[in-house]
Amino acid sequence: MLSSVVRFSVLPIALAWLVLLAGPVKADNFLAHGYERVFFWGAYETFCGIEGPDKQQHLLGFKQQKGQESRNNRGSGPGGMLTYPEFIARVEDKPLPPDNPVLSHPDPPGKVSFAVDDLLKKKLTGEVNVYALDPSLRGKSFNKPPGGKQKKPGSGGGSRNLYDPKDPHRTSFTVLVDGIVNALQHHLANPRNKDVFQRNLPFMKEALQAAITLRQEATKIYLLKRLTGQPADGGFDLNVQLDWKDSKVPLGSRYPEFHIRETYD
């Protein structure tokens, strides 16, 4: 195993991210979306470094569409790999060349927080376009059983139905992330990939940890609205005792820290 790389492993953090993605909080945090983009960029770099830009199909794989050359995910980097600005443009499902050809880079010696701040300033942190990253997920069903009945994943609905009764809240985004995590785990087990992972995993881990923290803080804001809301609106009309804390992530919003005992006394 890659003993010198495992301590940087992003996989346990990615699994925690998947759990949060299945929660009730809508993914509307622009800052979190910025950090998610940096993680996806690191995954893309990793897949390209191991499989080759022309072979990998996990994220923004090469396409062959006449008349759509600007959207075929062939970049100006080595072997046709997308550069970071080109990657961000294609995440937005925008054609190449990118409208923003110069962006703060998250890879060392760049800094992840500076890169995300730059994305925010250029308004490049909307919700991730899953179908731009992986067009094969377009038109698929994820959270409804075929025919309205409980069936095995993929049965009765052909390859277009990816419903899994063990994961009824899955979405196109969680399916995408799950596939990326599985592919990274597969490559991590190969000692020949050590250099690629040593280069990319640290900043990927930083980005993903920030995205998870922001989603956790957003969940607390969601809970506050539910606890203090009117019963007619699905709330509990509680006088919640709390303190407001500064976000643990630069540029993040303040979030509530609840005092459970004082609230119910």
Cβ–Cβ contacts within 10 Å for residue 247, how many?
16
What is the structure's pLDDT at 81?
97
Chain-centroid distance of CA 264 in Å reads: 37
Q: Is the peptide bond before 12 cis (omega within 30 degrees of 0)?
A: no
Give domain status of residue 204, yes or no.
Answer: yes
Give domain status of residue 50, yes or no.
Answer: yes
Confirm whether pTM is higher than 0.75.
yes
Give domain status of residue 139, yes or no.
Answer: yes
What is the structure's pLDDT at 35?
94
Q: What is 132-150 written as a DSSP string?
A: HH-GGGTT-B-SS-GGGS-
Q: What is 42-65 written as a DSSP string?
A: HHHHHHHHHH-TTT--SSS-----
What is the structure's pLDDT at 236?
77
What is the structure's pLDDT at 121?
95
Residue for token pair 């979190």: 32
What is the structure's pLDDT at 62?
92
Give domain status of residue 9, yes or no.
Answer: yes
Nearest to 82 by CA among 129, 49, 115: 49
What is the structure's pLDDT at 229?
82
pLDDT in tens, the chain (265 residues): 343 444 445 555 555 555 455 444 554 488 999 999 999 999 999 999 999 999 999 999 998 888 888 999 999 999 999 999 999 999 999 999 999 999 999 988 889 999 999 999 999 998 888 999 999 888 776 666 666 554 454 444 445 666 566 666 678 888 898 899 899 989 999 999 999 999 999 999 999 889 889 988 888 888 888 888 888 877 777 777 788 999 999 888 888 887 767 666 6
What is the structure's pLDDT at 114?
95
Name the domain count of the chain: 1
Give domain status of residue 116, yes or no.
Answer: yes
What is the structure's pLDDT at 157?
42
Q: Is 73 exposed, middle or buried (0-12, 13-18, 19+ CB in 10 A)?
A: buried
> Can you point out the beta strands (E) in the chain?
242-245, 255-258
Range of the structural domain that residue 211 is part of? 3-217
Give domain status of residue 235, yes or no.
Answer: no
Give domain status of residue 161, yes or no.
Answer: yes
What is the structure's pLDDT at 4?
40
What is the structure's pLDDT at 104?
95
What is the structure's pLDDT at 9?
56
Backbone phi and psi for residue 171, each to the nearest 5 degrees, phi listed first: -130, 175
Give domain status of residue 15, yes or no.
Answer: yes
